[in-house]
Amino acid sequence: MTPTIAILLIITFVLSTVGLLLLIWTIANNQFSHGQAAARTIFSPGEEGHSEDRARPADEPFTGDTSEQAQAIEARWTADQSSRTAVLTWLSSSVFWLLLGSFFGLASSIKMHLPEFLTASEFLTFGRIRPVHLNAVTYGWASMAGIGVALFLIPRLFKTSLVGGKYAVIGGFIWNIGLILGLSAITLGLSDGEEWLEFPWQVDLLFVVGGAMCAAPLLLTAANRNVEHLYVTSWYLMAALVWFPILFLIANLPFAFPGASGATVNWWFAHNVLGLWVTPIGIGIAYYMIPKILGRPIISYQLSLIGFWSLALFYSQVGIHHLIGGPIPTWLVTLSIVHSVMMSIPVITVAINHHGTMMGNFGRLKDSPTLRFVWIGALMYTVASLQGSMEALRSINVITHFTHYTVAHAHLGMYAFLSFILFGAVYFIMPRLTNWEWPWRKLISLHFWLVSIGILIYVVSLTVAGWKQGVALLDAAMPFMDIVKMTLPALQARTLGGALMTLGHLVFAFHFIAMLMRQGAATEQPTLFRPAIKENAQ
C-alpha cells in the first residue's frame, strides 16, 4: 500500500473515531439532552401510558385528567389542523405517484420474462419504463410521502402550529411539476443517463426549489417552538431536509464530473438518497410512532443520539461499495466498505430502541394498523441494513454485484422498510387531519396482506435466483444464456409479487380517496384490525 493511500485512510479513521469519542463524551456529560426526560417530550402532560391509537379496547381515549392536560391535548389538535393543507397536498400527490410507479414497475417486470411485451413503441421500451418506475416511486411516492409525514410531525414535535405552511403547499406543486417534466423527459429519451439521476438537470432545479420551500416552514416552526428538548425524530427530519438539497445539487451539477469520476459521484449520491434522505425520514417516523402508539417512551434516549450521529458519519461514505471491482482507486472502495460495515453501529442502536420498546407489547400488532406497518418496517430496516453491510464485503459482493440479488435488497429497503413505515404513518395521520375514521377495517387488512405477501415473494425469489446467478457468472464454464434461463422462474415470480403489491396499492389508494370523501359511517372509534368486541360486550 502506498504511503498516500495509507495517510488518507488513517486521516479518515482518525476523524471518524474522534467524532465518535466526542459524541460519547458530550452525551456522557449531558451536553445534548436531559436523557430520558427528552424521550417523554412527545407525550402531552399525563399522556404517558395511554396509547394514541387506542389499540386495546380497555383504553379510553386520553382527554386529560386536569384542565391543564386537556389544554395540551386541545393544543395538539390545533397543531394537527395547522398542517392540514400542506400535509394533504404532499400525501395525496404521493399516493398518485405510488400508483403510477407501481404500474410502471409491474410492466418492467413483465418485460423481463416476456421480451416482446409492448416493444412497438419507443416510449414503452424497458430501458425507459424502468427508470420511470424508479424515479416515480423514489421522488414521487417515497419522498413526497416522507415530506408529507414530516410536515405533520413538525408542529407536533415542536408543540406549536405550523408556520409558513403555504410555502410547503407551493413547494408541493413545484415538486409535482418537476416529476411530470422529469418522467416525461425519460419517456421521450432525454434522460441524463445516470441511475438515480435520470432527470435532466434543468428539471432538477425544480426539486431543489420545491424542497427548499419545505425547509422554510421547518425553520420557521422550529424558531417558534414550545418545547425545550428536541425529540430525536426532529433531529432526523432536520438533518434529512438539510442533506437532500446539498446532495441533489452537487450530484446534478451539469458537466462537472466526466468519465470514471462521474461514476463515483453517481453512486455517492445514489446511496446517500437512501442513507441520508429516506432512511432518516423512515427511522424518524418509527421513533415517533412506536412510542406514541404503545404509550411508553423509547427505552434509551442516549442510544438514539449515538445512532443519529453515527448514521451521519458512516452512511455518508458508503456509496462507493457499488463500484467494488470497478475502475476506481482501491482506497476509495476500501473506505466505503469500512463505513458500510461500521453502519452496523447505528443500525444496532436503532434496533435496540425500536424493538426494545416493543418488548412485551407485541400483542398490539394484532390491533393497530399503524403499529403493525411501522414495526414491520422497522424490523425490515434492521434486516436490510445488516444485509447491506454484508453485501459490501468483497467476498460477498463479487457474487451479488450485477445480479438480481441487489434488486431484491433494494426493494427490501425501499419497500419493506420505508414504504411500510410510510403506510403506517398515513393510517395514523389521516384521521387526525380529516377528523374522520378510516371507513373499512377490512380494506386495511387486505392492503396489509397483499403488500406483505407480494414483497415476500418478490424478495425471496430474487434473492435466491440472484445469488445463484452471481455464483454462475463467476464460472465461465456455464454459458451466459443458461444463466438467463436459470433466472426466468424468479423473474416470473417477481411479476406475481409485484402484481400483488400493485393490487394492494389500488386498495390503499381507493381507501385513501374514500377517506378524503368521508365515506363510511361517522364513528368515534379508531378503525383497527379487530373490532373492539370486549368494549361492546361491557
Partner 1 sequence: MKRALAIMVGAALILLLATLTLVVMPYLQMSAEQVPPDLKPYTEQQQRGRQVYIANGCVYCHSQQPRDPSFAPGDKARGWGRPSVPGDYAYDEPHLLGTMRTGPDLFNIGARQPSIDWQLMHLYNPRAIIKGSIMPSYPFLFRHVDEPVEGDKVVNIPPPYGPESGKIVATEDALALAEYMLALDHTYPAPTLPTLPPKTDEPKENRAP
Question: Look-up: residue for cell 473506505?
Answer: 335
d(C-alpha 185, C-alpha 287), whole Å = 37
| Minimum CB distance to partner 1 smaller for 61 or for 325 | 325
Contact 260, 395 (CB under 8 A): no
Phi and psi dihedrals of 227, rounded to 5? Answer: -120, 150
d(C-alpha 305, C-alpha 338), whole Å = 22
Contact 285, 232 (CB under 8 A): no
| Minimum CB distance to partner 1 smaller for 329 or for 531 | 329
Shortest distance, CB of residue 460 to partner 1, whole angstroms? 19
> E strand or H helix at 259, and its extent?
helix 259-272
What own/partner pairs with CB < 8 Å and gap ≥ 24 does 36-39 have? 36/297, 36/301, 37/229, 38/229, 38/230, 38/231, 38/232, 38/301, 39/231, 39/232, 39/291, 39/297, 39/298, 39/301, 39/304
Shortest distance, CB of residue 119 to partner 1, whole angstroms? 5
Shortest distance, CB of residue 351 to partner 1, whole angstroms? 22
Letter for the amino acid at 16? S
| Minimum CB distance to partner 1 smaller for 5 or for 345 | 5
Shortest distance, CB of residue 387 to partner 1, whole angstroms? 17
Question: Look-up: residue for cell 403506517?
Answer: 424
| Minimum CB distance to partner 1 smaller for 92 or for 316 | 316
Question: Look-up: residue for cell 452496523?
Answer: 344
Shortest distance, CB of residue 51 to partner 1, whole angstroms? 29
| Minimum CB distance to partner 1 smaller for 112 or for 376 | 112
* SS3 category, 33: coil
Cα-based distances in Å from 76 to 57, 68, 275: 23, 13, 31
Angle at 44 between CA 528 and CA 240, to 5 degrees: 80
| Minimum CB distance to partner 1 smaller for 142 or for 333 | 333
Cα-based distances in Å from 55 to 50, 60, 289, 364: 10, 10, 13, 6
Nearest to 168 by CA among 176, 156, 180, 179: 176
| Minimum CB distance to partner 1 smaller for 20 or for 73 | 20
| Minimum CB distance to partner 1 smaller for 91 or for 337 | 337
Shortest distance, CB of residue 197 to partner 1, whole angstroms? 8
| Minimum CB distance to partner 1 smaller for 235 or for 288 | 235
Shortest distance, CB of residue 302 to partner 1, whole angstroms? 16
Shortest distance, CB of residue 353 to partner 1, whole angstroms? 18
Shortest distance, CB of residue 352 to partner 1, whole angstroms? 22
Contact 409, 388 (CB under 8 A): yes
* Number of alpha carbons in the 13 Å side-chain half-sphere of residue 364: 30
Letter for the amino acid at 165? G
| Minimum CB distance to partner 1 smaller for 68 or for 122 | 122
Cα-based distances in Å from 43 to 72, 221, 369, 527: 10, 19, 20, 22
| Minimum CB distance to partner 1 smaller for 85 or for 492 | 492
Letter for the amino acid at 99? L
Residue 423 cell numbers, joined: 403506510
Shortest distance, CB of residue 338 to partner 1, whole angstroms? 11
d(C-alpha 221, C-alpha 230), whole Å = 12
Shortest distance, CB of residue 4 to partner 1, whole angstroms? 5
Shortest distance, CB of residue 415 to partner 1, whole angstroms? 18
Nearest to 510 by CA among 137, 95, 97, 102: 95
Q: Using CB atoms within 10 A of its CB, is residue 511 exposed (0-12), middle (13-18) or buried (19+)?
A: buried
Angle at 295 between CA 24 and CA 43, to 5 degrees: 70
Contacts of residue 271, defined as CB under 8 A and 6 or more positions apart, other chains included, come to: 315, 318, 319, 321, 322
| Minimum CB distance to partner 1 smaller for 206 or for 312 | 312
